[in-house]
């Protein structure tokens, strides 16, 4: 039995290199990868992220109400695109903003006719 154990041990030693792993250590820093995530969130005051509206624009639309109000079906939400048949009034002194009134509240839109704030 001793011969058998010696032979088994010798066989294990001879096959050990076949099970060895090769490890390469690279001292160079790993490449940095970045990912960008976009999330659309609407705040409670109606402002869309990235749509920073000067306070003067909000003040202007509140102090200059419009008599003619369009009739839009459904609930008006932030980010909605206003149809071309709705007449928009430009905000004086701010070329990128226009507005209209819906249900007694001014609605500020950008140059793409997207609602960016419903002033309440």
| Ordered DSSP codes for 34-47 | ----------TTSP
Structural domain of residue 106, as residue ranges?
55-118
SS3 15: helix
SS3 56: helix
- For residue 82, being part of any structural domain is answered with yes
User: Lowest-confidence range among 1-5, 14-18, 43-47, 115-119?
Assistant: 43-47
- For residue 74, being part of any structural domain is answered with yes
pLDDT digits (tens, 9 = 90+) for 20-48: 566 666 666 656 554 443 333 333 344 44
- For residue 12, being part of any structural domain is answered with no
- For residue 40, being part of any structural domain is answered with no
Tokens describing residue 87: 């007449």
Q: Which residues pair with 117 in a beta bridge?
A: 108
- For residue 42, being part of any structural domain is answered with no
Sign (positive/negative) of CA torsion 92, 68, 100, 46?
Answer: positive
The pLDDT, as a whole number, for residue 74 is 79
- For residue 20, being part of any structural domain is answered with no
Residues 89 and 94: their CA atoms lie apart, in Å, by 11
- For residue 77, being part of any structural domain is answered with yes
Higher pLDDT, 81 or 36: 81
């Amino acid at each position: 039995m001793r011969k058998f154990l010696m032979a088994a041990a010798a066989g294990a030693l001879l096959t050990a290199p076949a099970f060895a792993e090769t490890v390469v250590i690279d001292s160079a820093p790993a490449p940095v990868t970045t990912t960008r995530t976009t999330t659309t969130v609407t705040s409670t005051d109606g402002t869309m992220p990235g749509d920073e509206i000067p306070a003067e624009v909000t003040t202007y639309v509140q102090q200059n109400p419009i008599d003619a109000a369009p009739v839009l079906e459904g609930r008006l939400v932030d980010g909605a695109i206003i149809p071309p048949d709705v007449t928009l009034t430009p905000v004086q002194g701010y070329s990128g903003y226009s507005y209209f009134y819906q249900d007694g509240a001014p609605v500020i839109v950008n140059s793409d006719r997207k609602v960016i704030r419903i002033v309440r």
